[in-house]
Amino acid sequence: MKINRHTRLATISIAYVALLIAANPFLAAKAEVHPIVEVQSGYLFGATADGKWIKSDEAAKALPDEKTYEIYGLTQSLGHARGTAPTPSEEDVCADLLTVSLSPKPENGIIALAAPWNALPRKPQVIDQTQQVYVDAVRDFLQTKGIDQPKVKIENILRIDLDGDGEEEVLISASNYFQKEEGVPMRSPAGSYSMVLLRRVVAGKVETQLVEGEFYPKAYKDTEKFNAPNAYKVIAVLDLDGDGKMEVVVASSYYEGAATTIYRCNPKKVEQLLSVACGV
Footprint of Ca ion on this chain (CB under 5 A)? Answer: 161, 163, 165, 167, 239, 241, 243, 245
Q: Closer to Ca ion by CB, 155 or 161: give it.
A: 161
Q: C-beta of 243: minimal distance to Ca ion in Å?
A: 4
Nearer to Ca ion, 94 or 196 (CB): 196
156 touches 173 (CB < 8 A)? yes
Answer left, alpha or beta for residue 191, where phi above 0 means left and psi between -120 and 50 means alpha. Answer: left
- In this structure, is the dihedral angle defined by the CA atoms of residues 105, 109, 114 and 116, taken in order, positive or negative? negative
> CB-wise, 113 or 231, nearer to Ca ion?
113
How would you list the strands of the sheet with 192-202, edge to edge?
125-127, 154-160, 169-176, 192-202, 205-216
Q: How far is the CB of 137 from Ca ion (least distance, A)?
A: 17
Pairing of strands 102-103, 169-176: unpaired
Smallest distance from Ca ion to CB 13, Å: 35
CB 15 to Ca ion: min, Å: 31
Burial of 107 (0-12, 13-18, 19+ CB in 10 A): exposed
Cα 203 to chain centroid, rounded: 27
Q: Render 163-199 in DSSP notation, one character per residue.
A: SSSSPPEEEEEEEE---SSSS--SSPPTTEEEEEEEE
Q: How far is the CB of 169 from Ca ion (least distance, A)?
A: 5
Contact 169, 162 (CB under 8 A): yes
Q: How far is the CB of 119 from Ca ion (least distance, A)?
A: 8
Whichever of 97 and 113 has its CB closer to Ca ion, that residue is 113
Residue whose CB is less far from Ca ion, 64 or 166:
166
Q: Is the omega angle on the peptide bond into residue 185 within 30 degrees of 0, that is, cis?
A: no
Taking the CB of residue 101, how many other CB atoms lie within 10 A of it? Answer: 15
Q: Which is nearer to Ca ion, 187 or 199 (CB)?
A: 199
